[in-house]
Amino acid sequence: MKKQICILGSTGSIGTQALDVVREHSDLFEIYCLTANNRVEQLARQAREFRPAAVVIANDAHYDRLKELLSDLPEIKVYAGRDALDQIVEASPIDMVLTAMVGFAGLSPTIHAIRARKTICLANKETLVVAGELICRLAMEHRVRILPVDSEHSAIFQSIVGEGDNAVEKILLTASGGPFRLFSKEQMATVTAADALKHPTWEMGAKITIDSATMMNKGFEVIEARWLFGVPAEKIQVLVHPQSIVHSAVQFCDGAVKAQLGVPDMRLPIQYAFSYPDRLPLSGDRLDLFRGPLEFFEPDLDKFRCLAIAFESIRRGGNMPCIVNAANEIVNEGFRRGECSFTAMADIIERTMERVPFDASPDYDTYVQTDAEARRVAREFMNI
Ligand code: NAD
Ligand code: MG
Ligand 1 test: best mutation among 97, 102, 221, most atoms within 8 Å of CB? 102
pLDDT score, position 201:
87
Ligand 1 test: best mutation among 6, 10, 14, 218, most atoms within 8 Å of CB? 14
What's 105's DSSP letter? G
Closest CA relative to residue 121, chosen from 15, 278, 259, 16? 15
Q: Where are the alpha helices (DSSP H) in 197-292?
A: 206-214, 216-229, 267-275
The C-alpha atoms of residue 330 and residue 135 are separated, in whole angstroms, by: 23
Taking the centre of ligand 1 as the mean of its atom positions, its distance from the CA of residue 37, in whole angstroms, is 10
pLDDT score, position 10:
98
Taking the centre of ligand 2 as the mean of its atom positions, its distance from the CA of residue 100, in whole angstroms, is 13
Annotated ligand binding at 125? The verdict is yes
Low-confidence ranges of the chain (pLDDT < 70): none
pTM of the model: 0.98
pLDDT score, position 104:
98
Q: ∠ CA 334-173-178 to the nearest 5 degrees?
A: 40
Annotated ligand binding at 205? The verdict is yes
Virtual torsion, Cα 220, 128, 267, 271, nearest 10 deg: 150
pLDDT score, position 111:
98
Taking the centre of ligand 2 as the mean of its atom positions, its distance from the CA of residue 314, in whole angstroms, is 18
Question: What are the start-end ranges of the E strands in 1-144?
Answer: 3-8, 29-36, 54-57, 77-80, 96-99, 119-122
Pocket of ligand 1 (CB under 6 A): 9-15, 36-37, 39, 58, 100-102, 105, 123-126, 150, 202, 204-208, 266
Give the number of whichever ligand sits closest to the CA of residue 201. 1
pLDDT score, position 383:
87
Peptide bond before 277: cis, by omega within 30 degrees of 0? Answer: yes
Ligand 1 test: best mutation among 42, 208, 222, most atoms within 8 Å of CB? 208
Taking the centre of ligand 2 as the mean of its atom positions, its distance from the CA of residue 183, in whole angstroms, is 22
What are the tens digits of pLDDT across the range 49-68? 999 999 999 999 999 999 99
pLDDT score, position 182:
96
